Amino acid sequence: MDTLTDIAVQKAEQSRLPEVDLDNPGFGKVFTDHMLEMEYKNGEWKQPVIKPYGPIQITPALSTLHYGQSVFEGTKAYYIDGKTVNLFRPEKNYERMANSCERLCIPKIDRETFLEGIRKLVKLDHKWVPEKDGNSLYIRPFACAWDTQVAAKVSDTYRFYIILSPVGSYYDAPVRLITSQNYVRAVEGGFGEAKTAGNYAASFYPARKAQQMGFSQVLWLDAFDHEYVEEVGTMNIFFLIDDVLITPPLGGTILPGVTRDSVLKLARSWDMDVEERKIGMTEVMEAARSGKLQEVFGAGTAAVISPVKEIRHHGELITIHEDGRGPVGQKLYDTIYGIQRGKLEDRFNWTHSIEVA
C-alpha cells in the first residue's frame, strides 16, 4: 500500500438517506451509503477503498464462520453544526483494536489507515449524523479471517471493514442487573480484554436467561470465586460507596473501555477519591444495607453513562436508583456528552473535529 491517505472512493449512485428517520433510527439497524473495505493477502494490507454499502460475497468455508477469528470496535460521531462533526477519542479505539488483533493473530491495521478511514468515511456520509439530542452515528470497524479452508489454523488472508449506523439511545431506562453463579464471561489467560466476537457469543445465553427473569443484563463476576465484580455485558461498572468511586481493575478479563478511561480521568480531575481495585459482591451488598452505596452506573460507548436501578445477588435484591442517574453519574454524563457535542470545553483534547462543509 502507498501513502496512507490513498483511500480510493467509489460513490453510491443514489443515497438511501431519504428513506431513514434519523430521529428514530433504533440501534444498529440501518446503515449509511458507504463502507470501507481493505484486503490482507500475501503478507500485507492492500489499498483501502470506500465503496457503496452492500452485501459481501463469501463461501460456506470462510474460516471466520468456523473458528471465530474476528475483532471489532465501536466509536461514535456527533453532530455539532452544519459544518462540523466530532469524533471522540478514536485513537483509543485504535489502540484497543491493535491489542485485540494481536491476541487473535490478526495482522494489525496501520494507525493512520484506521483513523483516516474513519475520518474520510464520516465526511462522505456526514448527512447521516443525527442532529437530535441523544442520537449519534455509530462507527463499527472490524477485521476477520478470510481463508476459504476448513482447517483449525491461523488464517493467511483477512478483510477489514468500517461501517456506519445512525443510532438512538442504547438504554431508555435505568438497568436492572443480576449476577450469575453458573456462567462466566472470561478467565485469566483468556481473551476477556479483547473485543472479539466470541466474548459476546459466550454471553448471549446467560444474558437471555437474565432477560427472561426481567433483568437487563448480567453483572459478571470472576470465574473462580464468583464473588468479585468484573463488568456488565455492554459496559464497565462503577460503584460510589461512601463518596469513593470504585471500579474493578484491568487485569486481562475486563474490556478496557474508552468511556471507562474517560470517567476515571474526569473524576480524578475533580479531586474525587477514585479506586481501581477488586470489589466483591459481599462488599456491595453490605454497603447497600448500611446506606453507604450511593450510586451504581455503567460506562460504555453505546450506553455512555447508564444508571443501575437494581442488582440481584444470591436471591437478594437491592435498589440503588429509582429514577435516572445519581448526581455523580449525571455530572459525568453531562460532561462527557457535552464534550462530545462541542458544548463544553475539551480540556483533555479528546475530540477530533471533521470539517464537513
Domain harbouring 155, CATH code:
3.30.470.10
Same domain, 180 and 107: no
- Determine the pLDDT at residue 5: 56
Give the residue from 167, 198, 220 where a domain finishes: 167
Q: Give the CATH number, domain containing residue 257.
A: 3.20.10.10
Assess whether 145 and 213 both reside in one domain: no
Question: What residues contact 38, with CB distance under 8 A and at least 6 apart?
Answer: 45, 46, 47, 48, 49, 109, 113, 117, 159, 160, 161
The Cβ of residue 272 has, within 10 Å, a number of other Cβ atoms equal to 14
Q: Give the integer Cα–Cα distance in Å for 284 and 287.
A: 5
**One domain, residues 204 and 140:** no
In a domain, 76, yes or no: yes
Indicate whether 249 and 154 sit together in one domain. no
Could you tell me if residue 350 is inside a domain?
no
Q: Is residue 218 a part of any domain in this protein?
A: yes
The residue out of 114, 148, 167 marking a domain boundary is 167
257 within a domain of the structure (yes/no): yes
Number of domains the chain is built from: 2
Q: Which pLDDT tens digits describe the chain residue by residue (357 residues)? A: 444 458 999 999 999 999 999 999 999 999 999 999 999 999 999 999 999 999 999 999 999 999 999 999 999 999 999 999 999 999 999 999 999 999 999 999 999 999 999 999 999 999 999 999 999 999 999 999 999 999 999 999 999 999 999 999 877 788 999 999 899 999 999 989 999 999 999 999 999 999 999 999 999 999 999 999 999 988 999 999 999 999 999 999 999 999 999 999 999 999 999 999 999 999 999 999 999 999 999 999 987 899 999 999 999 999 997 788 999 999 999 999 999 999 999 999 999 999 998
Q: Which residue has the cell 447508564?
A: 306
Do 135 and 216 sit in the same domain of this protein? no
Answer yes or no: is 355 within a domain: no
Q: Is residue 122 part of a domain?
A: yes
DSSP 128: G
Residues 97 and 119 in one domain: yes
- Backbone φ/ψ region at 218: left (φ over 0), alpha (ψ -120 to 50), beta: beta
Q: Are residues 205 and 147 in the same domain?
A: no
* Structural domain boundaries, residue 38: 8-167
What is the reported pTM? 0.95
Instruction: Return the CA Rg of the chain.
Output: 21
Query: Do 34 and 141 belong to one domain?
Result: yes
Q: Are residues 229 and 313 in the same domain?
A: yes
Flag whether 150 is in a domain.
yes
